[in-house]
Structure 1
Amino acid sequence: MSKTAINGRLISLDALRGFVMFWIMSGEHIIHALAKAAPIPIFVWMSSQLHHPEWDGITFYDMIFPIFLFVAGVSMPYSFEKKMYNAGVNTPRELPSEEKRKIYRSMLKRTCILVVLGFIVNGLLKFDGFDQTRFASVLGRIGLAWFFAGLIYLNFDLKKQVYWFVGILIGYYLVMRFIPVPGFGAGILTKEGSFEGYLDRLFLPGRLHSKVYDPEGLLSTIPAIATALLGVFLGTFLKSEHPYYSIKNKLIIMTGSAIILIIVGLLWDFDFPINKHLWTSSFVCFVGGFSILFFIFFYVLIDLFGYQKWAFPLLLIGSNSILIYMASEGLVNFKHTAEYVFGGLIKFTPLVWQPVFTTISVTFVQLILLYFLYKKKWFLKV
C-alpha cells in the first residue's frame, strides 16, 4: 500500500472521486457557460463531452457514474483489510462466520440507506403520489452494485471473481440479444424494444425516468456489478505483495489491462453497442479501461510522486461526495446563495461573461461549504 494512504485509504481515490463528482455538482455548468461566452473549439468540444448521447455512443459525461462505482470497488479490499488483520486471516473468504455476518449486516444497511437517499433525491418527500415517484436512482444502483460485488468478493477467490465478472457480461449480452420482447422480438436494442426496458415497464414501480425505460433500471443494474468488480480487481492487485509486482510492473500491468478492456469494448460495440442507458457489456469494458487509466493518473501523481496540494479541492469534494451530490441535485439552491453573495460584483463584468462568473461563484460557495465540513470532520458516511 502507498505511503500516502491514510487509515487504509488511498488519497488518490478521494481525489478521483472528487474529480468525477466536480462535473456533476457544478463543473459542467462552467464549461457550458464558457462554450457560449467564448465558443472556441476546445470549449465547444468540452461542452459536447458533458452531455449524454441520445442513445448509443459514449462521451466523458457517460463515464462519471461508472468511474464513481469503480472507485467504490477499489476501496473495498482496503476497507476490509483491518477486519482481516484483526481476525488473523489473509483473505476475506477466511473470515469467521460471525465476522462475516456483521459485515453482511453493515453492507445491507449501507445499501438500504443509499436506496432511500436515492428516493429522496428523486423527490420522494414531495409526496406527489406513488405513480409519480421514481424509485430507480443513481445512489440506489451504487448501493446495489456495490453490495453484490461485495458478496462476491467476500465469498469467492480471485479466479472465481473473474468468472463472475465474465459470466455477468456474457450472460447480460445473451439475455439482451436472444430473449424476445412481445411486439418487438429478440435483440432489438432500442428504448422501447430492449428487454431491459420491457422489464422496467413490467416490474419497476412508480415513474420511469424516460417513460419506456429507466437508465438505472432493474436488469441493467446487473452489469453495473461487473463495473464494481473491476474496481475490486484493481484494489486487490494494488494490495498484492508478490515480489514480482513492483510498482513499475504494477503500472505496466494496469495500463496493459486498461488498453485490452478498451479494445474489447470497441470490438464488442459492433454487436452490442456501447450504451450507458443500457449499461451494455461493451460499455462496462470500454469505460472500465478508461477508469483504470484515470486511476493510474491520480495514483502516480498523488500517491507515488506525492503531489497532493493541487488536489485539495478534489479531496474536499471526494470526502463528502454523497452529500454534495444530493445537495447539488436540488436539495440546496447554491445558485441563489452565490447570486446573493456575488451578484453585485458579477453585474460589473461584461454581460456575455456573467453566466460564467455565476457558475464559478456557485462552485466557490460549494467548496466553502465542503471546506467547513472538512475542518469540522463532518462527513456523510454511508
Structure 2
Amino acid sequence: MKNRLLSLDVLRGLTIMLMTVVNNPGDWGHVYAPLLHAEWHGYTPTDLVFPTFLLIVGVSVVLAMPHKRWNSDTLLKIAIRTLRIFCLGWFLFFFSKIQLPGLEGPTLLLGRLAIMAILAWALFSEYEKKYQFYVAVGTFLLMILLAFGGFDAYETVRIPGVLQRIAMVYGLIAVLYLRTSWQVQAVVGVTVLLLYWGLMTLIPVPGVGQANLEKGTNLAAWLDYTLLPGHLWASAKTWDPEGILSTLPALGTGIAGLLTGTLLRTPSLTGPQKARYLLLAGLGGIVLGSVWHIVFPINKALWTSSYVLVAAGWALVVLSGLYYWIDVKGSKGWTLPFVVFGVNPMLVFFFSGIIPRILSAIPVHTNGKSVSLQHYLYSDLLAPQFSNPMNASLAWALLYLAFWGLIVWVLYRKGVVVKV
C-alpha cells in the first residue's frame, strides 16, 4: 500500500500483539512479572508497549501526509479521525454500563451489541466528509452528556484512557507536523518534557503541600481528581495513568515519532545511514532518560519525561534493527504474522477489549452455580490442564492472541483494512 513501510508495520504488529497478551491474562493474580507494569517507579517490557505504539502514530503521520497540505480537507480528515478514536475509547468504558429499560441478562447484552453496531455503522460508513464530521461530533457530545448529565448509570464511567490519549496526541502532532519544520517540532518536544518536569517537581500540590511524585498526591493526580471526579481509573479512583496533565509529555512521545518519520523520508540518506541514525538516537534516548531518572524517575503511570526518552529509545533501537533487516537487507519472508496485526491495529485493540466484556456478561450454569462464560472457559476448562497457575494464565493470553491472529489473517488475505 502507498506510503507503507514494512518494518513499521512489523513493529506495529509486534506492539499490538504484546498489548493483546499483557491486557488479557487468564488470571490477573497470576502473571509473570515482565508482563505486568512496574509497581510505580522503574519499568518493565510491558511499560514500553503503549509509548512504542504512540511513537508509531507519529511516524505514520509523516508517512501519510508527505506533502504537508494545509487545507480544509486535510484538517477535516484529522478532526474526524481524532473524534473517532476518542469515541472508540469511550465506548469501551460505556459498553458495560449501558442500561436499557426492561432489558437484563442476555437481552441487555444483545441490546448493547445492537447499539455498538449502530454506532459503528454511523461512525465508519463512507459518505461525504462533512457528514462524517457531524456524526463524530454528535457521538462525542452524546457521550459527554451521558457522563456529566447526572445519569446514575454513567456517573463513574472512565473518561481518560489509552485510545483517548492516542486521539489527543494524534490530533495535536498532526497539526504541528503540517505547520512546522522538524527543527521547531524538536524544540516543542524538548520544551514539553522540561515543562512537565518543572510542573511536577516545583509546583506545590493544593491541599497536599510540597511537590511530590507519589501515588495520588502528585500534581497530575490532583488535577485529574479536581476536573474528573468519579470518572477516573477504577483501580485508583483518585488519579488516572492516562490523565490530563500527563498527556503533555505524551506529546513528546508523538513528536519523537514525527522526527523519526522525517528521518526515514530523508532522500539524501541511504538505508544503512538511516538505520544507523535510528540506532544512535535510540541509544541516546536510553542513556539520557536513565540519567534523568536520577532526579525525575522513570514512571509510566506519570509518563515522566525520563520515561518518554527511555521508551522512545528502546522503540528506536528495535525499529533500527527491523528497518535494516527488512527494508535494507530485504529479509521479508518471516514478517507476515506481524504484518497481519500491524495493518489492523485499532480493530484488534478495540474488539479485543470488547470481547472479554461480552464473555463476562454471558451466564453459564455449571456445578450447581452460575458463572460467566469467561470464568467457565478459563477456570473450569483451561486452568485445570496446568499445574502452574502462571502458565495457565499465560496460556489463556496466548490462545486469545492466536484467536485474533486467525481473524486478522483472514482479513489480510481478503485485503480488508479497517481505517479509523
TM-score, normalised by the number of residues in structure 1: 0.83
Counterpart pick for 1:106 among 57, 64, 77 = 77
Task: Flag the 1:166–1:48 CA change in 2: closer, same or farther, 3 A.
Answer: same
Aligned to 2:404: 366
Task: Flag the 1:348–1:281 CA change in 2: closer, same or farther, 3 A.
Answer: closer
Q: Which amino acid aligns with 2:244?
A: L
Cα distance in structure 2, aligned partners of 1:31 and 1:123: 23
- TM-superposition CA deviations, 1:155-204 (whole Å, max 9, x none): 11111111101111111111111111123223211122211111001112
C-alpha contact (below 8 Å) 2:22/2:46 kept by paired residues = no
1:25-36 aligned within 5 A = 25-26=20-21
Cα distance in structure 1, aligned partners of 2:392 and 2:153: 39
Task: Flag the 1:124–1:222 CA change in 2: closer, same or farther, 3 A.
Answer: farther
SS at match of 1:310: coil
1:110 to partner: Cα distance: 0.7
Cα distance in structure 2, aligned partners of 1:356 and 1:194: 34
1:28 to partner: Cα distance: 7.0
Aligned to 1:234: 260
Gapped regions of structure 1 (runs ≥ 5): 1-5, 37-43, 85-91
TM-score, normalised by the number of residues in structure 2: 0.76
Aligned to 2:118: none
1:31 to partner: Cα distance: 11
Gapped regions of structure 2 (runs ≥ 5): 99-151, 361-372
1:220 to partner: Cα distance: 0.5
Aligned to 2:311: 287
C-alpha contact (below 8 Å) 1:56/1:273 kept by paired residues = yes
Task: Flag the 1:241–1:334 CA change in 2: closer, same or farther, 3 A.
Answer: farther
1:312-351 aligned within 5 A = 312-331=336-355
1:367 to partner: Cα distance: 1.3
Cα distance in structure 2, aligned partners of 1:144 and 1:375: 32
1:212 to 2:212 alignment? no
Aligned to 2:332: 308
Counterpart pick for 2:416 among 352, 374, 378 = 378
C-alpha contact (below 8 Å) 1:141/1:216 kept by paired residues = yes
Aligned to 2:115: none
- TM-superposition CA deviations, 1:21-51 (whole Å, max 9, x none): 1122236768999xx8xxxxxxx9xx31111
- Out of 113-122 and 356-365, give the one that drifted further: 356-365
1:347 to partner: Cα distance: 10
Q: Which amino acid aligns with 1:74?
A: V
- TM-superposition CA deviations, 1:73-106 (whole Å, max 9, x none): 111111012xx2xxxxxxx2xx3xxx52221111
Cα distance in structure 2, aligned partners of 1:312 and 1:350: 31
Cα distance in structure 2, aligned partners of 1:190 and 1:298: 37
Q: RMSD in angstroms over aligned alpha carbons?
A: 2.9
State the number of aligned residues. Answer: 348
Cα distance in structure 2, aligned partners of 1:306 and 1:141: 35
Aligned to 2:3: 8
C-alpha contact (below 8 Å) 1:176/1:186 kept by paired residues = no
Counterpart pick for 1:119 among 78, 83, 90 = 90
1:57 to partner: Cα distance: 0.8
C-alpha contact (below 8 Å) 1:69/1:227 kept by paired residues = yes
C-alpha contact (below 8 Å) 1:124/1:133 kept by paired residues = no
Task: Flag the 1:246–1:205 CA change in 2: closer, same or farther, 3 A.
Answer: same
1:171-250 aligned within 5 A = 171-204=195-228, 206-209=230-233, 210-242=236-268, 245-250=269-274
Identity of aligned residues (%): 29
Task: Flag the 1:330–1:166 CA change in 2: closer, same or farther, 3 A.
Answer: same
Cα distance in structure 2, aligned partners of 1:29 and 1:304: 35
1:293 to partner: Cα distance: 0.7
Aligned to 1:77: 62
Aligned to 1:275: 299
SS at match of 2:214: coil
Cα distance in structure 2, aligned partners of 1:176 and 1:292: 27
